[in-house]
Amino acid sequence: MSNYRGRFAPSPTGELHFGSLFAAVISYLDAKKNNGSWFIRIEDIDPQREVLGASKKIIESLKYHGFIWDSNPVFQSNRTSLYEETLSILHSQNSYYLCPCSRQQLINNSGEHSIECKTQNTQKMTCATKFKVSNKHYEWLDVFQGKVTQPLKDDFVLKRKEGYFSYQLAVVCDDIDQKITHVVRGTDLLLSTPMQLALYQALNKAPPQFSHFPLILNDQGQKLSKQNLAPSINNDNALSNILHIFDLLGLVLIREPRSAEEALNMAIPLWGKQLLPKSNITNQLT
């Protein structure tokens, strides 16, 4: 049995769209080709951006499109105790500080923090919790991108002033807790990788293997996302949606499948990173 443990982790800012389906297909095929496990995690830690009912609809769409996951979906909103526990560990290491500075203040001061922030005279102030960056340079071997080098110049938020945990903290906590070994995601998250590597290093945990694939773009050259008004996927066209993704990848099945689930199963032995496009895919949506 393979030790590969992968995951698909959408945010419920809207229903599943074609770009997210593309990501789910790639992460699923990569896990199953390696005889691995594949999990769903709903990253619902930002209620200000969450759309009511979107989590349920995302899971329904994945079912319609033939995905089978290896345990019940995990919801980040149920895991705050894990994040607080991790913050306590980082606090014991003096790895973070409390920051009352607003983003605009930092911009106006060329990145310089306020006197209160520097002296930690913040008892009566609303603060964000920020990680102290010590390593300014990160390098890793990305399965899809090859050798990647990224700077990490600025301290980053672990918990926002409003009390919400940051994506960077939550995703690392969850990947460690779920024993995720392979993270397969879009190149839009390349810039997040150094922050996550910094947290793995601080927590003395081995990071997963990262694989970043090119994105699906809209006609304006923007990443398909709810922010850019990407339309929801039509569950009634599940098989054709999956086959369209295979067409974009140049993945040719040996015969016509009868369902989306059968199409995915037929594609597993054919999957390989050589199928990925060299750059983002634009203007190829139906």
Instruction: Tell me what the mean pLDDT of segment 115-136 comes to.
Output: 79
Instruction: Tell me what the mean pLDDT of segment 239-255 comes to.
Output: 94
- CA triple 250-210-249, angle to 5 deg: 5
> Of 108-122, 193-207, 265-279, where does mean pLDDT reach its minimum?
108-122
Across 150-164, 215-229, 237-251, which has the greatest mean pLDDT? 237-251
pLDDT at 285: 45
pLDDT at 106: 75
Please tell me the total count of domains within the chain.
1
Do the domain assignments include residue 252?
yes
0.75 exceeded by pTM: yes
pLDDT at 213: 94
Do the domain assignments include residue 110?
no
Other CB atoms within 10 Å distance of the CB of residue 63: 15
Do the domain assignments include residue 221?
yes
Print the domain residue range for 19: 5-95+132-282
CA distance 45 to 12: 9
Instruction: Tell me what the mean pLDDT of segment 114-142 comes to.
Output: 82
Do the domain assignments include residue 82?
yes
Task: Give the confidence band of 219 by pLDDT, cuts at 50, 70, 90.
Answer: low
Do the domain assignments include residue 115?
no
pLDDT at 45: 92
Do the domain assignments include residue 111?
no
pLDDT at 281: 78
Q: Cα dist. 197→51, 90, 143, 168 in Å?
A: 30, 14, 16, 10
CATH number at residue 225: 3.40.50.620
pLDDT at 124: 67
- Per-chain mean pLDDT for the chain: 89
Structure-token match 């990173």, residue found: 273
Do the domain assignments include residue 107?
no
Do the domain assignments include residue 118?
no
User: Which token pair is 217?
Assistant: 């773009």
Task: Give the confidence band of 136 by pLDDT, cuts at 50, 70, 90.
Answer: confident
Instruction: Tell me what the mean pLDDT of segment 17-38 comes to.
Output: 95
pLDDT at 117: 73
